[in-house]
Structure 1
Amino acid sequence: MSVRQAGTQVVLIREYHSGKDTEFMTKTYYLIALLGLLLYAASSTAQQAPQIDIDYASFAYDEQESLVELYMAVEARSLTYEEGDSLYTSTIPLELSLLSSSDTDLDASAERVVWEQEMDLQFAVMDPSVITEGQVFLRQVRLTVVPGEYELQIAMPLSGQDPVQASRDVIIPDYGQQESCSISDITLASRITPSEDREDPFFKNGLHIRPNASQLYGEGATNLFYYAEAYNTACAASGTDEYTMLIYVSEANRPAPLTGLQKRSNRPVRLTDVLVGRFNLAPLVSGTYFLHMVILDNANESKVEQARKFFVFNPSADSALAQPVVATETFETSGYASMPEEEVEQGLEHIQIIATEQELRRIRNVEDLNERRRLLMDFWLVRDPTPRTGVNEYRDEFYSLLMYANERYSVQRIDGWETDRGRILIKYGRPSAIEQHQYDRGFKPYEIWNYNNISGEGQAMFVFADLDGFGEYELIHSTVAGERKLPDWIRRISESY
């Protein structure tokens, strides 16, 4: 093990090893590409690399640093075992590095490395022939790091071949601010039970927590367990000794709670409140979902939100789902054929937020009213996730976000959907967490929106600030390609700027 310091102090707390038992979870190969971070062999003719899912979560640690937990799940059947005296063993060399964020395309230099570790993961089984698909070995590493933007790099050396490599962006929030509520990252788990065994490698706050690094549930693993921490909850109590926590599951494209999968509770105010629970996902069909946590104030308004994506593969629920089939609607029989011109133009303005470059060119070049109507119809038709039904869920969610933006972000004579916050909300969906900083001494009001996953980007962050004091929050920095970048954004929002 080696620890490097390069402008950021990092301390390795403890490396956890546990491979005596395995956790069962049914998987299917078409879902593998959806998982958080996966290492695998690129060629079937090359040495077969073990399959590893890697995930992480961050929590409060002290005033300067945050705690980071790295979770690794190794597919037991993907390992090559050597026969020993009484056990079959397997060893995986793994290299982990945490690098400070860079806006350049240059190769990572030593100055960017803030922590690195080489390890040999060792596993043992009685008989490899009885290992079933979905059994995994779990490992966990803990370290502390200064809040900021990082890149996690993982490499698996292979004999006689180039190493298998993967990387992902890692955003570590600052939980040390006492002025506002916050919620840690959410650990998704396959099991959480009470425990007093402090030597248990998965012990935490009186609990045994088995993380689910793949974020996959369903057949064979219908119970989703979760662990998170809420900080400074007094900010939502308004003078009382309780605050309200809402925890629920939603579909990926519809943020409303699913029936039977929500919990609302009044909880005692604490500096740190441990949030632990379980949802039975047996009724859910295969797809992508989110687990949401929301701290509410006395007016039922959200003070801070956190969310975590997960996946469900559930063939039994899929087969029970009967989708009605409706006749394909033509342009002539649709409502678009008689849509007033003003409504058509407004609709075309709206969709420019999410339209492709080719679609934008068509909007600019097509002048005939009927053709513009067809353009609008085609735009929504190709995005309909369930074209055999009479409902376009994608369009409904788009306008749900647009109306929400108008309600929350309209300022003076500007509709909310036209503001920077409205545009980002509509384009990328609801953020996983919002950090509100309206009264930080020495700084102009600002908000940080964190996303756990944006397609093609991974984790992402947006910073909005009220630079002029009129309530219009401008986007001043983002980690998303194509959006405005200002690495020194904290100086821009300083009152002394």
Structure 2
Amino acid sequence: MRYLLTLLAAFATLAAQAGPPQLLLDVARFRNLDRVVKGAEVEIYVTVPTQPLTYRQRAPKSFQSSAVVTLDVLKADGTSAYHEVVTLKPPVLTDTTIAIKNPQSFLKRILLPDGKYTLRGTVKDQYRSAGGETTVEKPLVLEAPAGPFLSDVILLSRPAAKSGGDDNFARGGYRLARAASGTYGRGADNVFFYTELNNAPQGQPLRVHYHLTTPDGSAADADASLTPQSGRPTTIVGQIPLGPLPDGPFTLFIEVYGGPGNKKLLTGHRAIGQRASAEFAPGNAAVPR
């Protein structure tokens, strides 16, 4: 009987131990409107899939995992520009064998001067001693061209919704639900996006062209008109159907045209996403606890 209880306790703390914990880092750079300090607002969207985490039994038919995420932004000389530790406590489960466990996400928005940095994120499974930590690093360059330019393009899991709120999920008058790592899973039939046009010429409508393409040559295109705002970045929101595009990576190009007949390319930017129609993908972020 004691052996059986020990075995059950061991199973209660097991998760999908096929690999270490996972950490997804999505970074978007926007210009800081402060004209004194040249720099950017950096949005760091962190997603921790809970499927690989260890679930510990807290009570009869009550299991929970726990992960600690450490975020660091390092300057070019290795000194710290930003440091924060966030603890994630996914919802309690009554059965750890369920096929879908929702990921946990959170968003941080920080101000940094122009320059070169390294973003480092580390996730640690609180209930696993061996192989329970993963670190991800990304280069981060902050600078602004002199002429018109687009900010980074954010891929969204749902249309940008008008919002008067003032929190990390609101930008440019919209509430944004980010698609983690640009992944569009089962049931997704559109790519939704948000970006901002800076230093746009005033007094004339512009043409915005969207081009969605995959490595095998499949493509979709759309056009829209845009009237720049005066003195502030101009928001660009929209969607383009995935249609018959195959599973796998895709690239969304956004180009802004002006001049006579709106035929002169003023600026452009791209975002890379992934279509995985057989997989589950989260709808939007959960607030960390």
Smaller-chain TM-score range?
Answer: 0.7 to 0.9
1:171 paired with 2:141, answer yes
Higher strand share: 2
Measured in 1, the distance between the counterparts of 2:167 and 2:160 equals: 12
Deviation per residue, 1:406-425 (Å, 9 max, x gap) = xxxxxxxxxxxxxxxxxxxx
Measured in 2, the distance between the counterparts of 1:216 and 1:279 equals: 15
DSSP-derived class of the 2:259 partner: coil
Measured in 1, the distance between the counterparts of 2:118 and 2:200 equals: 30
Deviation at 1:78, TM superposition (A): 2.5
Corresponding position of 1:273: 234
Normalised to the residue count of structure 1, the TM-score between the two structures is 0.46
Measured in 1, the distance between the counterparts of 2:96 and 2:164 equals: 32
1:66–1:172: 8 Å Cα contact kept in structure 2? Answer: yes
Closer, same or farther: CA 269–101 of 1 in aligned 2, 3 Å: same
Deviation at 1:281, TM superposition (A): 0.9
Deviation per residue, 1:420-462 (Å, 9 max, x gap) = xxxxxxxxxxxxxxxxxxxxxxxxxxxxxxxxxxxxxxxxxxx
DSSP-derived class of the 1:76 partner: coil
Normalised to the residue count of structure 2, the TM-score between the two structures is 0.75
1:241 paired with 2:204, answer yes
1:49 paired with 2:20, answer yes
Closer, same or farther: CA 198–127 of 1 in aligned 2, 3 Å: farther
Higher helix share: 1
Code of the aligned partner of 2:41: L
Code of the aligned partner of 1:147: D
Deviation at 1:84, TM superposition (A): 4.8
> Of 50, 69, 74, which aligns to 1:94?
69
1:226–1:277: 8 Å Cα contact kept in structure 2? Answer: yes
DSSP-derived class of the 1:296 partner: strand
The aligned length equals: 253
* 5+ long unaligned stretches in structure 1: 1-42, 103-108, 316-497
Deviation at 1:193, TM superposition (A): 4.2
Deviation at 1:149, TM superposition (A): 1.8
1:149 paired with 2:116, answer yes
Deviation at 1:227, TM superposition (A): 0.9
* 5+ long unaligned stretches in structure 2: 1-16, 279-289
Closer, same or farther: CA 242–195 of 1 in aligned 2, 3 Å: closer
Deviation per residue, 1:277-333 (Å, 9 max, x gap) = 122213111232211111212241211111111122347xxxxxxxxxxxxxxxxxx
Measured in 1, the distance between the counterparts of 2:105 and 2:95 equals: 17
With 190-199 and 80-89 compared, the bigger mean Cα shift is at 80-89
DSSP-derived class of the 2:176 partner: strand
Measured in 2, the distance between the counterparts of 1:294 and 1:56 equals: 20
Code of the aligned partner of 2:257: L
1:93–1:120: 8 Å Cα contact kept in structure 2? Answer: yes
Which one has the largest radius of gyration? Answer: 1
> Of 225, 232, 239, which aligns to 2:192?
225
With 211-220 and 64-73 compared, the bigger mean Cα shift is at 211-220
DSSP-derived class of the 2:51 partner: helix
- The 5 A counterparts of 1:19-418 are 44=18, 49-61=20-32, 62-63=34-35, 64-84=38-58, 88-101=63-76, 109=78, 112-125=79-92, 127-129=94-96, 131-133=98-100, 135-157=102-124, 160-161=129-130, 163-174=133-144, 179-196=146-163, 198=165, 202-234=169-201, 240-252=203-215, 258-259=219-220, 261-270=221-230, 271-299=232-260, 300-314=263-277
2:43–2:108: 8 Å Cα contact kept in structure 1? Answer: yes
C-alpha root-mean-square deviation of aligned residues, in Å?
3.0
Code of the aligned partner of 2:153: I
1:233–1:243: 8 Å Cα contact kept in structure 2? Answer: no
1:190–1:224: 8 Å Cα contact kept in structure 2? Answer: yes
DSSP-derived class of the 1:220 partner: coil
1:72–1:140: 8 Å Cα contact kept in structure 2? Answer: yes
Deviation at 1:250, TM superposition (A): 2.3
Measured in 1, the distance between the counterparts of 2:129 and 2:97 equals: 30
DSSP-derived class of the 2:165 partner: coil
Aligned-residue sequence identity (percent) comes to 20
Measured in 1, the distance between the counterparts of 2:243 and 2:62 equals: 37
DSSP-derived class of the 1:282 partner: coil
Measured in 2, the distance between the counterparts of 1:144 and 1:52 equals: 23
Measured in 2, the distance between the counterparts of 1:170 and 1:192 equals: 27
Corresponding position of 1:377: none
2:27–2:42: 8 Å Cα contact kept in structure 1? Answer: yes
Measured in 2, the distance between the counterparts of 1:128 and 1:225 equals: 34
1:218–1:281: 8 Å Cα contact kept in structure 2? Answer: no
Measured in 2, the distance between the counterparts of 1:169 and 1:295 equals: 27
Measured in 2, the distance between the counterparts of 1:292 and 1:145 equals: 27
Code of the aligned partner of 2:23: I
Deviation at 1:118, TM superposition (A): 1.9
1:189–1:209: 8 Å Cα contact kept in structure 2? Answer: yes
Closer, same or farther: CA 233–127 of 1 in aligned 2, 3 Å: farther
2:39–2:143: 8 Å Cα contact kept in structure 1? Answer: no
